Structure 1
Amino acid sequence: MTVGKIEITEDKVLKLKPIFESIVSRKYGKDIRFRTLTMGGITVKDHSVKKVGR
């Protein structure tokens, strides 16, 4: 998928996932990990992340 002039691929979303996690973790002061991340219609899933209940 192309967003603007940037072509989004699954590899690029996988590389951006830890960057987004660190930004959100710093903002909220907690270690935050995404189980799924969707960008430009491409979804990546990380099944190693445990689901935490509230």
Structure 2
Amino acid sequence: TSKIGEDQLFYFQQRGVPPEKAVAAIISGFCREVFNELPMEFSAEVNELMSLKLEGTVG
């Protein structure tokens, strides 16, 4: 794992994505691979919890 790079945020911002949405998309994409390995009922719940936790945050 690593910090979210300025170049990653720049990529999203150049496409009109606000910083908080960019951070959420990057984290979600990273975590999705792990969540997909979980049983379906856990995967759905973890995805929902992560979405709630990331709402309104900025990296």
For normalisation by structure 2, the TM-score amounts to 0.30
Report which structure shows greater RCO (CA 8 Å, sep ≥6).
2
The structure with the largest strand share of the pair is 1
For normalisation by structure 1, the TM-score amounts to 0.32
The structure with the largest helix share of the pair is 2
